[in-house]
Amino acid sequence: MARPDKEATVAELADKFRESDAVLLTEYRGLSVAQLKELRRSLGDNAEYAVVKNTLAAIAARQVGLEAFAEDLKGPSALTFVTGEPVEAAKALRDFAKDNKQLVIKGGVMDGTVLSADGVDKLASLESREVLLAKAAGAMKASMSKAVYLFAAPASQAVRTVDALRAKQETAA
């Protein structure tokens, strides 16, 4: 019979898996408490860094349909539950791992898709959502400006032709 405290922990982890936009898996072996505190602070408000028991986290992951992710839960594992912008949390983890070689990014899951360590690194190399939206808006504005120019060109060419004909008739008369 499972203990009620473990059942509660599994239920809480399963809820966090469901509510999170992304979950990033790291190995924290060798990090001090002060370094973990610094890491949690660097993640910001939209991410929660939690050291978990692998067996309980694997049970919770399987409950929400993440069997492949559950297989990666080996060694001293910690999960980063991200609600909001996953790119920011991935960047914070990547930057912290550069300075602290003990932190190893093992993978993650985003929108039900399991990510490898390389996938998390690619996620971290993306620009923020706001920058990508601004670039898309700029591209749309540029193409709309080109369209306006193309639609206005025949009319302005016709006006220039009429002006040239009128000037020619005035000089002939």
* DSSP class of 151: H
Which CATH number applies to 4-126? 3.30.70.1730
- For the chain, how big is the Rg over CA atoms in Å? 28
pLDDT tens track for 31-70: 888 888 888 888 888 888 888 888 888 888 888 888 777 7
By CB neighbour count within 10 A (0-12 exposed, 13-18 middle, 19+ buried), where does 83 fall? middle
Q: With 70 as the cut, is the pLDDT of residue 115 above it?
A: yes
* pTM reported for the whole predicted model: 0.69
What is residue 1's predicted lDDT score, i.e. its pLDDT?
38
Q: Where are the domains of the chain?
A: 4-126, 128-173
What is residue 99's predicted lDDT score, i.e. its pLDDT?
86
The secondary structure of the chain in percent helix, strand, coil, rounded to multiples of 5, reads 65, 15, 20
Closest CA to 21 of 86, 93, 80: 86
* DSSP class of 8: H
What is residue 141's predicted lDDT score, i.e. its pLDDT?
80
